[in-house]
Structure 1
Amino acid sequence: MKIVVVGCTHAGTASVVNMKELYPDSQITIYEKNDNISFLSCGIALSVSNIVTEPEKLFYNSPENLASQGIITNMKHEVLDINFDSKTLLVKNLTTDDVFEDNYDKLVLTLGSWPIVPKFEGGNLENIVLCKNYDHAKTIIQKSEEAKNIVVIGAGYIGVELAEAFELKNKNVTLIDSQDRIMAKYLDKDFTDVAEAEFTKRGVKLALGQTVQKFEGDKKVSKVITDKNEYEADLVVLCIGFAPNTNLIKGKLDTLPNGAIIIDEYMRTSKEDVFAAGDCCVVRFNPANENRYIPLATNAVRMGTLVARNLVKPTLKYMGTQGTSGIKIYDLSIASTGLTEEVARSTTSLNVASVTAIDNYRPEFMPTFEEAKLKLVYDKDTRKIIGGQIISKIDLTQYMNTLSVVIQNEMTIEELAITDFFFQPHFNKPWSLLNTVALMAL
């Protein structure tokens, strides 16, 4: 069996490693435009702030390691075209410029995503950079050393983490977003208010509810102009969001309007023997019971693993996702899963309700204890739980992993209220925070 994998970051790496284990006699060929694989871009901010001292540590696999397992690992090779009927590919060696044809029995598309870059006036000035891959990481680290005024555009997780990292390096930081809150997709206002207060307290300028109009400067950027204000900038980092990197298959496979490849529960595309996984695909978003585009590394590695399991015959179904995620901002540990109350009300027809519990995470007779805030979002008609958020100075983020399982299994507030969780004064109270918030909903 001849398998070709196009793109090899998280989904690609997971599929290749598992396919080699399951089908050791198969011929597996990788075509990857970059010269590296498996880079964890979520760790770029950790490199900027020197928590991770070398960005090279953010790789968990290498072309050399895959090649040592007998996988044909072609770095700096770009697939120019795919003929799904003849099962052939046109490939360019980016080092030599040679173009050649290859063929496959099974094709795995793990094309990933790419940062959204609107056409700004002045967008070609120097020191306006993206934040996605290893080369971007090196550029950001190098340029931030010399920069004094840094503007981050986009207040999702990556933008927020970078803003913190730059502030920790004593830079003048401005965080711009067109939304009126940071991390608006992941958290409701009562949670983002707490996070925003941390940034404001440390001097980070939050320019929210503003849209970037243009950049000004002489060769290098020196100013960012929005519809409401202007900001000095020696360095601008674009973190506006991501789109599926699927121009290669445009018009050839079934996709969403944004280009995300539509797959079934076995990772199969609309063409026979063609599979797809990771940031180039749709995912089944369980809380809303619909397909959505949610680019996350956790989704990617699961989907890549499922490609290998289903390559020859449908074997293991994709269970969907709750979009569970977490972030640490200064002393605050924050996590969420499923739908926020705001997103649920604006994007679904569910009869949405929520409750919020604020309590110390363990008994007050202990030498120390810390307050935690946990929100539960549910559907009043079905009683099913559809989302949750937690914030505390203690790391209680694993509660959201538990709640992710609750949502996936369509549990009700009644069931969560009386679910068995252990009690030990070092860790919690007799009623778990999850019990407590569900009891409040009753």
Structure 2
Amino acid sequence: MSMKIVVVGCTHAGTAAITQMARLYPEAAITVYERNDNISFLSCGIALHVAGIVKDAEQLFYASPDQLAALGVTTQMRHDVLAIDTDAKTIEVRNLATGEPFVDTFDKLVMTTGSWPIIPQMEGIGLENIELCKNYQHSQTIIEKAKHAKRIAVIGAGYIGIELVEAFEELGKQVTLIDNMDRVLFKYLDESFTAIVEKQFADKGVTLALGQTVTSFTGEDGRVTRINTTAGEYEADLVVLCIGFRPNTELLKGQVDMLPNGAIIVDSYMRTSKPDIFAAGDSCAVHYNPTGQHAYIPLATNAVRMGTLVARNLMKPTVRYLGTQGTSGIKIYDYNIASTGMTEAAALAAGLNVKNVTIEDNYRPEFMPTYEKVMLKVVYEAEGGRIVGAQILSKVDLTQAINTLSVCIQNEMTMDELSFVDFFFQPHYNKPWNLLNQAGLQAI
């Protein structure tokens, strides 16, 4: 009898787990159940598609059911998992094409059910032209509806919301951005950085409705026409909700340990609190290195790493997860921006005693024909100088510096150590004291 592996949800994490398991365990019988008819859509590419930079949304899929079938994986598309019994190791499934329910069994279960956008329950939420932004169908709907819309409102000033605002503005739309925090990208950047982003949007004529919460939507003939908030009202004929994500983990509720928001808690080998039940990606909490706590950080990077680790650790604990810093980057108009770990605001909110260094400098020597400004901020613990976060912004792409600082945080390095790391100097690229060295040297 070969081992039976069942994967629920062909997300980024699911696809990574499946391809690796097919390679590592050629004898195993692997079945994946997916309720959609497509898999592994890169939602981080939706704004690029809306803006017309990626012409064909088909290119945003990085795997197909056929590719998985070619690996010998039983790929059950349009199958909805109704219930799971982790003790009996059974799974109840409905074939959505025929309506037939059936029961399958497993030796190992991999939960990669991903996340779904948070939909606020309020008056008018069911009106037409209020759209979500997550999957392939959403991207097609948004593009189609944006063609006919004059005023578009985006609710939520995280990465996806911000990128859509830029895309819509460049398509010549009147755009309103609404968020309940008093600044954009609140989770990723501190105020000196977000102020620059907000100025870019204001200069382009985008209405920034910050520090206010949507209370209801008003419509005519069943279509949305107005958004009401705690501070005013805004006209819109298309609304895109980008409020954040919630893990899809109802199936395991009460069976494995979870965070209050339903994110499954896994150990460093991707094991849940139940033997033979593994989880990865947006359905999970991750170990967040800056605090040492479990946190919910739904990112494609975390998902593919965790999915790959499920495969490596399926039979026995082999490769540990190193945790995450929540490292991410974004391009907004002319600015290249990236961040890792905690902002100063987040560190203070978490009760850490932190200091910070902010460097504003030209990124390379002034004797070069051109040079651009760069702003780098590093946040570190007052006692001992352990680095907990960093942010960078420049018209030149210096975002790789944040990947370097992500490694520093992961390895619990201090500002003193950062001062003297061996970084190269070459006038085309930087100054004799590398920017990161400078940050270390300026910390006292």
TM-score tier (shorter) = over 0.9
1:315 corresponds to 2:318:
yes
Identify the match of residue 272 of structure 2 among 269, 273, 288: 269
Match of 2:300 in 1: 297
1:35-81 deviations in whole A, cap 9, x for unaligned?
11110001100000000001111111110111111110011101100
- Residue type of the alignment partner of 1:171: K
Instruction: Output the TM-score relative to the length of structure 1.
Output: 0.99
Match of 1:117 in 2: 119
**What is the CA RMSD across the aligned residues, in angstroms?**
0.6
Identify the match of residue 357 of structure 1 among 352, 355, 359: 359
Percent identity between the aligned chains?
A: 64
Match of 1:163 in 2: 165
Q: Map 1:413-424; keep pairs closer than 5 Å.
A: 413-424=415-426
- Residue type of the alignment partner of 1:435: N
Distance 1:183 1:159 in 2: 9
Match of 2:143 in 1: 141
Q: Map 1:200-215; keep pairs closer than 5 Å.
A: 200-215=202-217
- Structure 1 residue 206: deviation in Å? 0.3
- Structure 1 residue 32: deviation in Å? 0.5
- Structure 1 residue 28: deviation in Å? 0.6
Match of 2:244 in 1: 241
Distance 2:385 2:155 in 1: 39
- Structure 1 residue 350: deviation in Å? 2.0
Match of 1:65 in 2: 67
1:347-375 deviations in whole A, cap 9, x for unaligned?
2x321100100111111111111100000
Distance 2:332 2:122 in 1: 30
Match of 2:403 in 1: 401
1:337 corresponds to 2:340:
yes
Distance 1:278 1:173 in 2: 32
Distance 1:68 1:310 in 2: 23
Distance 1:339 1:331 in 2: 24
- DSSP-derived class of the 2:7 partner: strand
- Structure 1 residue 382: deviation in Å? 2.3
- DSSP-derived class of the 1:56 partner: helix
Distance 2:348 2:86 in 1: 41
Distance 2:76 2:230 in 1: 46
Match of 1:231 in 2: 234
Distance 1:360 1:412 in 2: 25
- Structure 1 residue 249: deviation in Å? 1.1
Match of 1:103 in 2: 105
Match of 2:259 in 1: 256
Identify the match of residue 279 of structure 1 among 276, 282, 285: 282
Could you tell me which runs of 5 or more consecutive residues in structure 2 were left unpaired when the two chains were aligned: none
Distance 1:351 1:106 in 2: 43
- Structure 1 residue 90: deviation in Å? 0.3
- Residue type of the alignment partner of 1:283: V
Distance 2:381 2:242 in 1: 33
Distance 1:21 1:426 in 2: 43
1:374-393 deviations in whole A, cap 9, x for unaligned?
00100011210000000000
Could you list the runs of 4 or more consecutive aligned residues of structure 1 that deviate by over 3 angstroms after TM superposition?
none
- DSSP-derived class of the 2:83 partner: strand
Q: Map 1:186-201; keep pairs closer than 5 Å.
A: 186-201=188-203
Distance 1:281 1:9 in 2: 13
- Residue type of the alignment partner of 1:37: I
1:72-104 deviations in whole A, cap 9, x for unaligned?
001110110011111110000111111001011
- DSSP-derived class of the 1:342 partner: helix
Match of 1:49 in 2: 51
Identify the match of residue 331 of structure 2 among 317, 324, 328: 328
Distance 2:387 2:142 in 1: 40
Q: Map 1:215-226; keep pairs closer than 5 Å.
A: 215-218=217-220, 219-226=222-229
Distance 1:277 1:344 in 2: 26
- Structure 1 residue 254: deviation in Å? 0.9
Distance 1:391 1:434 in 2: 14
Q: Map 1:78-93; keep pairs closer than 5 Å.
A: 78-93=80-95
Instruction: Output the TM-score relative to the length of structure 2.
Output: 0.99
Distance 1:217 1:84 in 2: 46
1:130 corresponds to 2:132:
yes
- Residue type of the alignment partner of 2:118: I
Identify the match of residue 32 of structure 2 among 22, 26, 30: 30
Distance 2:148 2:130 in 1: 14
Match of 2:6 in 1: 4
Distance 1:307 1:127 in 2: 39
- Structure 1 residue 290: deviation in Å? 0.8
Distance 2:112 2:164 in 1: 27
Distance 2:277 2:293 in 1: 23
- DSSP-derived class of the 1:268 partner: coil
- Number of aligned residue pairs: give it: 441
- Residue type of the alignment partner of 1:70: G
